[in-house]
Structure 1
Amino acid sequence: MANYEEMHRNYVAPTYGSRGLTITKGQGVYLFDDQGKKYIDCMSNFGVNILGHNVEEINQRVNNQLSKLTNLHGSFVNDQRSLVAKKLVELSPKNLKKVFFCNSGTEAVEAAIKFSRLATGKTGIIAAKMGYHGKTMGALSLTKTLKKYNEPFSPLLNEVTHFSFNDIDSLKEVINENTAAVFLEPIQGESGIRLPDDDFFINVKKVCEEYGALLVIDEIQTGMGRTGKIFAIDHYNIEPDMICMAKGIASGLPMGATLISEEVSEKLFGGAHTNTFGGNPLVCAAALETFDYIKNNDLLQNASEIGNYFISELKKIDSRLIREVRGKGLMIAIELKAKCSRFVKLMQEKGLLTIPTGSTVIRLLPPIIFSKDNVDEVVKIIKEVLI
């Protein structure tokens, strides 16, 4: 029998820490290792597998497209790409009119950086401390979480400034007439599910308008229904100038997109920014079925209702280890009074996959198809570990 763990160690670049598992199959909300052990998945590949694993409808749609056309240059029109672009615009805040397609979240952010400078003629970029936007050089310049992500790769982009999330006065201190854009996550994910005050984004939008800066919202982790709305920014009643998205858009296939306003679109020109694989017919077919599946199964409402139930049940756990439970929809954090890595490992041993975030937060990003029974199964394991 092949030793896949040894192959991985010998041949795969060591850019990830190892969970010590060889996963070979997924079904619904479960993953299975090479020994046949079942794990309930509260990671969803960091939010990618929004509908769970091995979804029959997605498989059928992709297989059907596979027999027709897999990739096509952006200078040609394709039915699948056109349909996805139309659907995204329909689902987005009404001022967003065009879509740039790519393959990942960090690529969507890179596009937004270029578009913001082109559209405004300015060069300054502002992002939030403890924010995460990706690890390519431009996106990494905006990311401000752990020093180990940034410092070895300096110097990064010039003219990038950071302010304190959820602190409008901190933004006012750093924004100026040369600011092209402010990049923000509606909920900070990698720093432990940090939620803003209800009026924070309304005030951010006002400040951006005052200085002629664009507001770019990073929905890479929060988008596609995770918080109970297609976009988390919809909870805060504003219209950003751009939205970056990826992860759940194509139910596990690599796809990203940058949604832009008409004002930004008017500044673009042929060759301004291109992507060989972006918006290919195969991933677009998966995205179209993802939109249909979410709508047909009322998964926005499910994410909201099951998320509320999940948070409520977690808050009932009487453990001296728990400092706080917080979240929105099915984007949930359990903040501990101790380092979380040991407890994440114990949960894994009991058949529950969670995400260690920072040193003390356990992050839960289950598929939005989760049910109350799934929640009860997860809460039972968490109780066994934390009580």
Structure 2
Amino acid sequence: MSNTVSRADFDQVMVPNYGPAGFIPVKGLGSRVWDQDGREFVDLAGGIAVNSLGHCHPELVAALTEQAGKLWHVSNVFTNEPALKLANLLVEKTFAERVFFCNSGGEANEAAFKLARKYAHDNFGADKNQILSCVNSFHGRTLFTVSVGGQPKYTEGFGPVPGGISHFEFNNIESLKAAISDKTCAVVIEPVQGESGVLPADPAFLKAARELCDAHNALLIFDEVQSGMGRTGALYAYQQYGVVPDILSSAKGIGGGFPIGAMLTTEKVAKSFGIGSHGSTYGGNPLACAVAHKVVSIISSPEVLAGVEARHQRLVTGLSAINAKYNVFQTVRGKGLLIGCVLTDAYQGRAREFLKAAEKQQLMILVAGLSVLRLAPSLVISDADIDEGLKRLDAAVAELVSAK
């Protein structure tokens, strides 16, 4: 098969900040993907929890196609119908009273952190500016968001980084108590830490965070870029915990593959973003909002949300069967269709070897750090695709174990 470009072109023309797989996907449908050579892959990666309804979902294709024939972009000098409809839907389905649209999770978190500081400045003075976040958290790749994220490897070589940021231990109430003060303007938490290994928060930890923020007049921010939009079995994970934040960031799955991010907040907090205080050229783009409205409408249905737990159980049962044969996982953890398989001591640091072995079996999976395999498939993946994906993972693990 003749191709105009190949994987080798990446190394010649792209900035080398990524190390993509050895094949190039060219077509997707549901939870199957085909590469340039026509090989069919099972997708249990979901574009890193982005393809929430799989590839080329017909209702998303229709929404995009319809909007593409109407209006693409007008800028924020004007508003547009798809943005207003999406904002209304998010307000209806969540705690939020106000919505800000942007293009990514990093942008949504950037807006959240800026708003938290501006709100504190407006209401309590300039000295109340400290942002607290968790060790090993991940909130984006802008200089501000990597600084808030608790992983030094992402800020090395990029200094000086923004100040006024401190970190505490995830799921450790005493660590948060020791860190928070009346100078704290916001506490930022992922209800399920994604990049650091798929770690769900303890309910008591989130409840304590809410109480501590209230006691110190600090805002509670939930980063639900990865855990949101049905991924855990609720529209947003905070709804399962019964702990309501002041600000929530959303992206990834909300667009089903089309780039869009959103920051949700209350009317009281939103007032600190007056005209001209923040913006995004493409934020609220009609194409993105039309697609996202369809995504939210589908995912928020009881049928889809209930199906997430059933698919979780099917995957976990299959993963347990694989582990019974090969003993490669210490534990399988996570919520809904965000699942982490923690490798045993014998395979610590070798997650990418499993990724490569899966690729050879025409299976797409993810890693979360050096020692955790991550699965984040479509929320509507079929039982047949789950079973075939598990079959291919079994073959990949068998090959890797035999080569040990």
TM-score interval for Structure 1 and Structure 2 normalised by the shorter chain? over 0.9
1:134 aligns with 2:140: yes
Question: What residue in structure 2 maps to residue 292 of structure 1?
Answer: 297
One-letter amino acid of the counterpart of residue 108, structure 2 = A
1:349-368 aligned at under 5 Å gives the runs: 349-368=360-379
Q: Give the C-alpha shift of residue 130 in structure 1.
A: 0.8
From 354, 367, 371, the equivalent of 1:343 is 354
Question: SS where residue 270 of structure 1 aligns?
Answer: coil
User: Is 2:198–2:368's contact at 8 Å kept on the other side of the alignment?
Assistant: no
State yes or no: 1:166 paired with 2:171: yes
CA contact (8 A) 1:119 1:263 kept: no
Counterpart for residue 85 of structure 1: 87
The answer to whether structure 1 residue 125 and structure 2 residue 136 are counterparts is no
Supply the AA of the counterpart residue of 1:345. K
Among residues 361, 384, 392, which one is paired with 1:381 in the alignment? 392
Structure 1: gaps of 5 or more residues: none
Q: CA RMSD in A?
A: 1.3
The TM-score with structure 1 as length reference comes to 0.96
- Per-residue CA deviations over 1:53-80 (Å, capped at 9, x if unaligned) read 0111111111111111111222323111
Aligned equivalents of 1:78, 1:18: Cα separation in 2: 37
In structure 2, how many angstroms separate the alpha carbons of the residues matched to 1:250 and 1:188?
21
In structure 2, distance between residues paired with 1:221 and 1:27: 22
After superposition, residues 46-61 of structure 1 pair within 5 angstroms as 46-61=48-63
Q: Is the 8 A contact 1:199 1:236 kept in 2?
A: no
The AA in structure 1 aligned to 2:142 is: T
1:196 corresponds to which residue?
A: 201
Which segments of 5 or more consecutive residues in structure 2 lack a partner in the other structure?
122-127, 399-404
Structure 1 residue 204: Cα displacement? 0.7
Q: Provide, for residues 55-110 of structure 1, a one-character-per-residue CA deviation record: whole Å limited to 9, x for no partner.
A: 111111111111111112223231111100000111112xx200011000000011
Separation of aligned partners in 1, 2:351 and 2:118: 43
Q: Which residue of 1 aligns with 2:336?
A: 329
Larger CA deviation: 371-380 vs 25-34: 371-380
* Alignment partners' CA distance in 2, 1:281 and 1:324: 43
Asked whether the 8 Å contact 2:231–2:308 carries over to 1, the reply is yes
SS in 2 for 1:323: strand
CA distance in 1, matches of 2:239, 2:313: 18
Answer yes or no: is the 8 Å Cα contact 2:357–2:397 preserved in 1.
no
Counterparts of 1:306 and 1:227 in 2: how far apart (Å)? 11
Q: Structure 2 matches for 1:149-228, cutoff 5 A?
A: 149-228=154-233
Amino acid at match of 1:79: E
Tell me the residue number matched to 1:22. 24
What whole-Å deviation, never above 9, does each CA across 1:275-321 have from its counterpart, x for those lacking one?
11001111111011112322458211111221122113312331222
User: Structure 1 residue 137: deviation in Å?
Assistant: 0.8
Counterpart-to-counterpart distance in 2, 1:80 and 1:357:
34
Alpha-carbon distance in 2 for matches of 1:186, 1:303: 17
Residue type at the aligned position of 2:328: L
Separation in 2 of the partners of 1:315 and 1:140?
35
- Counterpart residue number, 1:4: 6
Q: Once the 2 structures are TM-superposed, how far is the Cα of residue 214 of structure 1 from its aligned partner?
A: 0.3
CA distance in 1, matches of 2:309, 2:161: 38
1:102 corresponds to 2:102: yes
The farther-off stretch of 150-159 and 374-383 is 374-383
Distance in 1 between residues matched to 2:45 and 2:18, nearest whole Å: 15
Partner of 1:311: 316
Aligned match of 1:32 in 31, 34, 51?
Answer: 34
What is the distance in 2 between the residues matched to 1:112 and 1:198?
23
CA contact (8 A) 2:358 2:392 kept: yes
Q: 1:14/1:305 Cα in 2 relative to 1: closer, same or farther (>3 Å)?
A: same
* CA deviation map 1:317-349 (0-9, x unaligned): 312222111111000011112122212111111
Letter aligned with residue 175 of structure 1: I
Under a length normalisation based on structure 2, what TM-score does the superposition of the two structures give?
0.92
Instruction: Give the distance between the partners of 1:325 and 1:267, measured in 2 at CA.
Output: 42
Query: Secondary structure at the residue paired with 2:230?
Result: coil
CA displacement at 1:370 relative to structure 2: 1.4
Q: Is the 2:234–2:240 contact (alpha carbons within 8 Å) kept by the matching residues of 1?
A: yes
The CA distance in 1 between the partners of 2:214 and 2:297, in whole Å, is: 35
